[in-house]
């Protein structure tokens, strides 16, 4: 469905940035169409959390293309611009990631978890294959983090709190499950194309593009 969304003028140049494109699509046919679009951009990730390397103008192009396929009243689409740390984006995989996978984890930081002891924002995304483990993992994360989508959560806390959470999560997850953590930096790196906004305006900042149906948050 065409939304009438008009993207801003993008910069013409810029280095590729590590990004996530995450979605909850309510209808199977729309999900398949968006999946086909993402197949041209993604370098890895999970079923509904796609890891990409995108230049600024490509971020605009991708969201504009997805906006033509979704129902803003029913779907949720979120672009996350990940900060670069020393050696690449701060990404970790628990427990099923294996070296050599062609995704952002190839650029993960060398420093072991937990991350810095200061209060920090971290995204957690999972693919859990078993329904019972999925319910337990969702209940645990929903109790300590903000659900952004069905399999994507935003955690705020010190590294010790995150480490404790990971210990509890690894006791739930199986070897075939996938849990990924992404250091966010600040919620203003979340760009909402559509869907419910679970964070306050004070946390996100003002909308970059005012709209009755589509909201884009950013600095």
**By percentage, how much of the chain surpasses pLDDT 90?**
33
Q: Quote the DSSP letter at residue 127.
A: E
The pLDDT assigned to 167 comes to 85
Whether the predicted pLDDT of 42 surpasses 70: yes
Let me know the angle formed at the C-alpha of 25 by 136 and 154, rounded to the nearest 5 degrees: 50
For the chain, the first-to-last Cα distance in angstroms comes to 28
Output the CATH code of domain 85-183: 3.30.70.240
Q: What is the mean predicted confidence (pLDDT) over 70-80?
A: 92
d(CA 169, CA 163): 10
**CATH topology of 17-83+186-217 equal to that of 85-183?**
yes
**Given pLDDT bands bounded at 50, 70 and 90, which one contains residue 108?**
very low
Whose tokens are 């969304």? That residue is: 5
d(CA 42, CA 53): 8
Closest CA to 175 of 64, 89, 96: 96
Of 15-29, 71-85, 202-216, the range with the highest mean pLDDT is 15-29
| Whether the model pTM is above 0.75 | yes
More confident residue, 101 or 205: 205
Of 3.30.565.10, 3.40.50.11810, 3.40.50.10540, 3.30.70.240, the CATH number of 17-83+186-217 is 3.30.70.240
Ordered by start, the domain boundaries in the chain are 17-83+186-217, 85-183
CB-facing half-sphere around the CA of 218: CA atoms within 13 A: 17
The pLDDT assigned to 28 comes to 95
| Contacts (Cβ under 8 Å, ≥6 apart) of 59 | 10, 17, 19, 79, 81, 191
Contact 173, 93 (CB under 8 A): no
**Given pLDDT bands bounded at 50, 70 and 90, which one contains residue 114?**
very low
* Tokens found for residue 38: 């993402």
More confident residue, 147 or 14: 147
The pLDDT assigned to 218 comes to 46
Whether the predicted pLDDT of 32 surpasses 90: yes
Closest CA to 205 of 190, 189, 188: 188
Q: What is the pLDDT of residues 119-147, one digit of tens each?
A: 888 899 999 999 999 999 999 999 999 99
The pLDDT assigned to 83 comes to 81
* Tokens found for residue 137: 């993992």
Q: Quote the DSSP letter at residue 27.
A: S
Q: What is the pLDDT of residues 145-175, one digit of tens each?
A: 999 999 999 999 887 888 888 889 888 988 8
Helix (H) / strand (E) containing 91: strand 91-95
163 class by beta-carbon count within 10 Å (0-12 exposed, 13-18 middle, 19+ buried): middle
Q: What is the pLDDT of residues 182-199, one digit of tens each?
A: 888 888 889 888 877 777
d(CA 95, CA 178): 6
Of 41-55, 79-93, 126-140, the range with the highest mean pLDDT is 126-140
Omega before residue 142 within 30° of 0, cis: no
């Amino acid at each position: 469905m065409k939304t009438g969304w008009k993207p801003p003028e993008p910069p013409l140049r810029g280095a590729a940035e590590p990004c996530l494109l995450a979605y909850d699509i309510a209808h199977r046919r729309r999900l398949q169409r968006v999946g086909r679009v993402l197949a041209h951009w993604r370098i890895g990730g999970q079923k509904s959390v796609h890891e990409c390397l995108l230049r600024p103008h490509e971020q605009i192009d991708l969201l504009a293309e997805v906006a033509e396929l979704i129902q803003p009243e029913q779907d949720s689409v979120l672009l996350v611009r990940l900060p670069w740390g020393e050696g690449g984006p701060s990404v970790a995989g628990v427990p099923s990631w294996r070296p050599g996978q062609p995704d952002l984890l190839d650029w993960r930081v060398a420093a072991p978890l937990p991350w810095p002891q200061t209060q920090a924002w971290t995204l957690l995304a999972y693919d859990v294959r078993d329904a019972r483990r999925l319910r337990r993992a969702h209940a645990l994360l929903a109790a300590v983090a903000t659900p952004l989508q069905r399999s994507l959560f935003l955690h705020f806390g010190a590294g010790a709190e995150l480490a404790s959470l990971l210990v509890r999560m690894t006791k739930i997850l199986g070897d075939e499950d996938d849990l990924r953590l992404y250091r966010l930096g600040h919620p203003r790196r979340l760009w909402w194309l559509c869907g419910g906004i679970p964070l306050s305006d004070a946390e996100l900042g003002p909308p970059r593009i005012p709209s009755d149906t589509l909201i884009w948050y950013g600095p």
